[in-house]
Amino acid sequence: MSIAENLAAVEKRIAAACARAGRKREEVTIVAVTKTFPAARVDEAIAAGVTHVGENRVQEAREKKPQVRGSARWHLIGHLQSNKAKDAVRLFDVIETVDSVDLAQKISRASDTARDVLLQVNIGDELQKNGVAEADVEAMASEIRSIAGVHLIGLMAIPPIGTPDDARKHFRRLRSIRDRIGLRHLSMGMSEDFEIAIEEGSTMVRIGRAIFGPRG
């Protein structure tokens, strides 16, 4: 199937998940994850209707973005090393993986306009994953909100590997944290579990394989 056909199928699944949850379709943004796919494929996705693109690595975006002709908002969805904050600010409209006050401050200093950021939460308390511990989210969000040059718009998380139903409890908990601290967005859900994430309140779903097919 083509990217356009895959995207249309994803759209139907999103619409159905929204209907089950009593939500409006426009409440959910697709972030098309273009990791390892060339610029031509990104342009194909944009031509099919994608308006938000997600990349995992600053270096890959630095090489790829100048070759992309279509217009989209670019999201950094992979870990950001603090020494690459300047490059990230230049390349990305949204940085979803802020995990410290220090990193937020570096982004602020590197940006000449307020940068939209999300706070990454280690929702499964996994040692191998980046993100803020659940117990620290509220205090860190408060500190980041006080930093000029960054605009904290939501929370982001990657649940532990498991079945889609296993992820539901993590999605539900992240939504509860988001609601408690009064943010708008939840970036949660990928190709294998985005429908459950939407049912639990996700406003941004990061979808790669279901749009572009398997990576080589």
pLDDT digits over 97-121, tens only?
999 999 999 999 999 899 999 999 9
Does residue 143 form part of some domain?
Answer: yes
Q: pLDDT value at position 152?
A: 98
Q: What pTM value is reported for the model?
A: 0.96
Does residue 198 form part of some domain?
Answer: yes
**Per mean pLDDT, which range of 3-7, 83-87, 159-163 is the poorest?**
159-163
Residue 207: DSSP 8-state: E
Does residue 61 form part of some domain?
Answer: yes
User: What is the overall mean pLDDT for the chain?
Assistant: 96
Give the residue among 97, 95, 111, 99 at the shortest CA–CA distance from 148. 111
- The CATH number of the domain holding residue 77 is 3.20.20.10
Does residue 216 form part of some domain?
Answer: no
**Domain extent at residue 77:** 3-211
Does residue 74 form part of some domain?
Answer: yes
Does residue 177 form part of some domain?
Answer: yes
Does residue 46 form part of some domain?
Answer: yes
- Number of domains within the chain: 1
**Per mean pLDDT, which range of 49-63, 157-171, 174-188, 198-212 is the poorest?**
157-171
Residue 183 near residue 201, CB atoms below 8 Å: no
Does residue 192 form part of some domain?
Answer: yes
Q: Of residues 185 and 112, which shows the higher confidence score?
A: 185
